[in-house]
Amino acid sequence: FKCVHITYQSLEDWRGLRDIIRCNPLFHGHTRFNSLLFNSDSPGMVFARIYVLLHCTLESKHQFDIALVHGYRRSNGKPRTEWAGCQVHEEVSSYSLMLIDCVIRGALLTPVTNGGKENLHFLVDTVDPDMFLRANQS
C-alpha cells in the first residue's frame, strides 16, 4: 500500500487528529516519501523518511504493518540561514525496519540548500501548534 493513516493526540488541546503519511514513487508525476516522528528509546524527537510500507501476516494469523525507513539524526552542520530553535537533521544512509505502531505523527523536514549537502534537512515546526509544542519541549 502507498499510504498509512496515523491518529494521534494533539499536545495543543488533546483532540484526536489524523495524518496521512505517503510513500509513493509516482505521486502525481513526482516521488513522494513523507517523513514522520516516531517513538524510540533515544532522547528527544526521532524522525525517519518512509520508503516502503508492508502488511505482514504470520502463520498464527497475527497481522501488523511495517515500514522500510531512513532515519534522521541531529546534525552539527550549520546552514547559512539559522534562527533561534533551528533544528537541522541529517538523513542516515542505511535502511531499517520499524513497526507502524511506533509512529506518533507525520513531520515536515525540508532540504537545506547548503553547498551540495543534500542529506541535511530543517525541521519545520510551524506546520501546526502540535508540532511546535513537540519541537520546543525537547
Given a cut of 90, is residue 87 above it in pLDDT?
A: no
Q: What is the spatial distance between Cα 14 and Cα 43, in angstroms, rounded to a whole number? A: 23
- Indicate the residue type of 3: C
Contact predicate 72/49, CB 8 Å: yes
Domain housing 131: 3-137
pLDDT band at 23 (very low <50, low <70, confident <90, very high): very high
Residue 67, domain CATH: 2.30.30
pLDDT, tens only, 31-43: 889 999 998 888 7
Q: Please give the average per-residue pLDDT across 106-123, as a whole number.
A: 81
Backbone angles phi, psi at 66, to 5 degrees: -130, 160
> How many domains is the chain built from?
1
Position 29 scores a pLDDT of 85
Q: How would you classify residue 137: left for phi > 0, otherwise alpha for psi between -120 and 50, otherwise beta?
A: alpha
User: Does residue 68 surpass a pLDDT of 70?
Assistant: yes
* pTM, rounded to two decimals: 0.83
- Split at pLDDT 50, 70, 90, the class of 51 is very high
How confident is the model at residue 34, as a pLDDT? 92
